[in-house]
Amino acid sequence: MLLLLHLSCPAVQIVFALIAFAAAASLYNSYDFYKVSFVQFMVFTGVMGFLISLFYSIVSCVEGLKRTFSGLIEVILNVLWVIFWLAAAASFAAYQPCKVKDATFVAITKCDVFIASQAFAWLSWFLWIGSLWISIMEMRSGEGLTGGE
């Protein structure tokens, strides 16, 4: 069960990160958000989260790489990205002009794109927490660098 979760989690993380940073990038390119640092941070977090998840999808398929990049290295990387996704999602949630109550659901506005990016950032944060839990359990069971008791 843990192996199945560990293999599917990066695939879902790739999709969610892609959606979150694509929506933020469309805000960055289409509206006056290009000067706002939290949109740039969301794009950075999404792109890097996408690349790291892609890397770990490849690593999980190669046994020698899996032993090298699991354990303490994976736990530290997951902790870092849990913090980054939390910061990115919270910065979008704190932006007052675009709240869920302002969503139109008739035509796509900048606030609808903003809310979509925020939603997938929160979902990515939850996925990275799950990935962190899995990597801690694997490290405690003796897999990877400094794994075991």
pLDDT at 30: 67
Instruction: Tell me what pLDDT residue 144 has.
Output: 53
Q: What is the pLDDT along the chain (149 residues), one digit of tens a residue?
A: 445 555 567 788 888 888 888 888 887 766 665 567 788 888 899 999 999 888 888 877 776 677 667 778 888 989 999 999 999 999 888 877 776 665 566 666 777 788 888 899 999 999 999 888 888 888 887 755 554 44
pLDDT for residue 149:
46
| Integer Cα distance of 127 and 122 in angstroms | 9
